[in-house]
Amino acid sequence: MNPAQELIANDVLRCEWATAPYYLFSDNVFSPLIYYSHLFPTIAGLLLAFIVWRQGQKLLVNKLFIFLSLSFAAWCLMDLVLWAEEDPDIIMFVWSALIYINPMLYLASAYLLYAFVTNRDVPFYTKIGAFALIAPVLVLAPTSLNLVAFDYTNCDREAIEGPLWTYNYILEILVVLWISVFTLRSVLREHLRSRRIQIGMLGVGLIAFLAAFSWGNIVGSISEDWALAQYGLFGMPILLAVVIYLIVRFQTFRIQVIGTSALVTALWLLLFSILFLQTLESARPIIVATLILFALIGIFLVRSVRREIESRRRVELLASDLEKANDRLKELDQMKSEFLSVATHQLRAPLTAMRGYASLIAEGSYGAVNEGEKEPLFRIMESGRNMANSIEDYLNVSRIEQGRMKFEFAEFNLTQLADTVVKELTSVAERRNLKLTLAPSEALSVKGDIGKIKQVMTNYIDNAIKYTPHGSITVRVWKEGNAARFAVEDTGTGIAADELPKLFSKFTRARDANKVNTTGTGLGLYVAKILIEGHKGKTWAESEGIGKGSRFIFEIPA
């Protein structure tokens, strides 16, 4: 039995109070206005918090707005418990717990405005300062400085607030003043008109909300007429109307315009709640307030829907144009690939004839050739080979882009293939005074497309010949775990570390490649990479740096 029950039991008190199911509903709430003033802002605040949460909970301002709405909803529900509940234990507990929510509501409002205006979080020392302001409340809330006593005088069921509440009210007034000054200063400093309106409206909305709230509580606390404080709760619908306007007009909080239609639900609830009012007399001011609010929000909503329909129509037109342009681009790309394929085939045939006849002439098939004539013939053959390689690269890229690259897998000896390629290119290397050798390697059987692998090997060695002014080129084949590796090491120009990862991209060449070799297309290594990836393998290059040679490697499953 609590102290109040003891007094009732001893017939000291003769108060009769109704019990409150779910802590909220009882005849102790003498006026429907109290339900109206508490439940409507609670539902509207929760609804808006939900919409903001659904559409952008990652933004700091949105998080703060959600926190503010939830805190206010909690405050309203707890305050309603005080009206409905008859148990002094519950009343004392809930009333004393309200002391936590009040300063948090105010500081969160200031935090929201700061984050909205500056687009950044508050400095760390400010957070420490805010914590220091709330700390006395946290520490002293359970003491008699919070609630002095439970007052049963005239069966009032009220708590007597202690000096901690005075501290709280002073804090509230200071925060409202800070918000006023900060809003004014920010509006004056802002150059962009629309932004100025947004800051001004949010600031005024917050000031109206907090001032109404403070006024209600302070007047209630001093006069002990808590029915007056109910009007303070209508500050939330004012803030709500401002926020709705900001959302609709400026897309503040990054909420889609269509989301505001959900707010109409709040208005339906508002109208629905009027049904619970017992007399027309008490309903009249509420109906007038509702009508004004409904008219304002209705205008904004209709405008926003119209704007949204127009912008959607524009987007649809743009999307249609974009689709047509995309189809045309695809068509052009296909034509380009086909043209490239046909053109390169047409080029390859006469080139093969030129190289063949030059080779036959150099070998003396058409009569003796003197030493002076041999050099130009070799140059014709080498230029022809380079051109044939470039054409092959273009053809391969064309096949890759058209998805026509096909692989014919069969078992073959990788070491033997490397030996063949080395022998084919030895004469080319020798003409440049380079020593091309295959390091002693064991026979290594792999399954793959021999033509494609030969092409990659040729590309690697060919590159090494082109980019090695003097020295040697060594080819190695070996087994590494379950993979077969092929590497070409040279003593050439080397590659800078930042260039290495880009070498195998399309149309990419090392920075100073043109100084050494002007015939490269930047496609050879890209094609090599695609061909090796077609074997479920990988390609990479290593180099100690510029002037320190390089090593090109590929690996395929053995």
Query: Tokens at residue 63, please?
Result: 């998080």
Residue 223 vs 320, nearer CB to another protein: 223
Secondary structure in 3-state letters for 373-430:
HHHHHHHHHHHHHHHHHHHHHHHHHHHHHHCCCCCCCEEEEHHHHHHHHHHHHHHHHH
* Binding test (CB under 8 A) with another protein, winner from 9, 149, 360, 496: 149
d(CA 63, CA 57): 6
Rounded to a whole number of angstroms, the minimum distance from the CB of residue 19 to another protein is 16
Do residues 392 and 455 touch, judged by C-beta distance below 8 A? yes
Q: Of 163, 158, 160, 159, which Cα lies nearest the Cα of 140?
A: 163
Binding mask 465-504 for another protein (x = CB under 8 A): ----------------------------------------
* Rounded least distance, CB 115 to another protein, Å: 12
Q: Which position among 18, 142, 424, 519 is part of the footprint of another protein (CB under 8 A)?
A: 142
Which segment (2-10, 264-272, 324-332, 382-390) binds another protein by CB under 8 A? 2-10
Q: Which of 137, 151, 225, 114 is closest to 3 using CA atoms? A: 151
At closest approach, how far in Å is the CB of 6 from another protein? 8
Residue 291 is a binding residue for another protein (CB under 8 A): no
**Of 131-139, 282-290, 320-328, 499-507, which segment contacts another protein by CB under 8 A?**
131-139
Q: How far is the CB of 270 from another protein (least distance, A)?
A: 32
Helix (H) or strand (E) holding 553: strand 550-557
Binders of another protein in range 6-25 (CB under 8 A): 7, 12-13
H helices of 432-534, in order, are 450-466, 513-516, 524-533
Please report whether residue 139 would count as binding another protein according to CB under 8 A.
yes
DSSP of 230-290: GGGGGHHHHHHHHHHHHHHHH-GGG--GGGGGGHHHHHHHHHHHHTT-S-HHHHHHHHHHH
* CA distances to 64, 182, 206, 209 from 110, in Å: 10, 9, 9, 12
Which lies closer to another protein via its Cβ, residue 158 or residue 449?
158
Binder to another protein among 163, 356, 451, 469 (CB under 8 A)?
163
CA 463/CA 298 separation, integer angstroms: 73
DSSP three-state, residue 476: strand
Residue 148 interacts with another protein (CB under 8 A): yes or no: yes
Packing angle between helix 193-223 and helix 235-250, nearest 10 degrees? Answer: 170
Size of the site for another protein (CB under 8 A): 42
Shortest spacing between CB 509 and another protein, in angstroms: 44
Burial class (CB in 10 A: 0-12, 13-18, 19+), 17: middle
Which stretch in 150-158, 305-313, 450-458, 550-558 sits in contact with another protein by CB under 8 A? 150-158
Quick one: 127 or 379, whose CB is closer to another protein?
Answer: 127
From 158-166, 208-216, 314-322, 364-372, give the range in contact with another protein by CB under 8 A: 158-166
Q: How far is the CB of 234 from another protein (least distance, A)?
A: 26
Q: Binding to another protein (CB under 8 A): which residues in 74-103?
A: 88-90, 92-93, 96-97, 100
Stretch of 155-163, 277-285, 393-401, 481-489 lying at the interface with another protein (CB under 8 A): 155-163
Span 165-194, contacts to another protein by CB under 8 A: 166
Q: What angle do CA 165, 170, 173 make, to 5 degrees?
A: 125
In angstroms, what is the minimal distance from the CB of 148 to another protein?
Answer: 5
The span of 68-76, 160-168, 294-302, 371-379 binding another protein (CB under 8 A) equals 160-168
Q: What does the buried/exposed string (b/e) look like for 50-74 if buried means 16 or more CB atoms within 10 Å of the residue's CB?
A: ebbeebbeebbbbbbbbbbbbbbbb
Judged by CB under 8 A, the stretch of 140-148, 237-245, 265-273, 497-505 that binds another protein is 140-148
- If one asks whether residue 135 binds another protein (CB under 8 A), the answer comes out as yes
**Span from 20-28, 153-161, 234-242, 376-384 in contact with another protein (CB under 8 A):** 153-161
Distance CA 189, CA 410 (A): 76
3-state secondary structure 74-114: HHHHHHHHHHHCCCHHHHHHHHHHHHHHHHHHHHHHHHHHH
Shortest distance, position 16 Cβ to another protein, whole Å: 15
Q: How far is the CB of 25 from another protein (least distance, A)?
A: 20
Output the six-digit token pair for 554.
């590929």
Q: Give the pair of three-digit tokens for residue 303.
A: 């405008």
Q: Write down the least CB distance from residue 87 to another protein, Å.
A: 9
Stretch that binds another protein, among 51-59, 151-159, 314-322, 451-459 (CB under 8 A): 151-159
The alpha carbon dihedral of 191, 194, 195, 198 has a sign of positive
Report the nearest approach of another protein to the CB of residue 24 (Å): 17
Crossing angle of helices 450-466 and 371-402, in 10° steps, is 130
Report the candidate in 245, 275, 284 with the shortest Cα–Cα distance to residue 263: 245
Is residue 154 a contact residue for another protein (CB under 8 A)?
A: yes
Q: Contact at 8 Å (CB) between 453 and 527? A: no
CA-nearest of 427, 479, 435, 484 to 456 is 484
Q: Provide the minimum distance between the beta carbon of 14 and another protein in the complex, in angstroms, as a whole number.
A: 10
Give the binding site for another protein (CB under 8 A): 2-4, 7, 12-13, 88-90, 92-93, 96-97, 100, 121, 124, 127-128, 131, 134-135, 138-145, 147-154, 160-163, 166
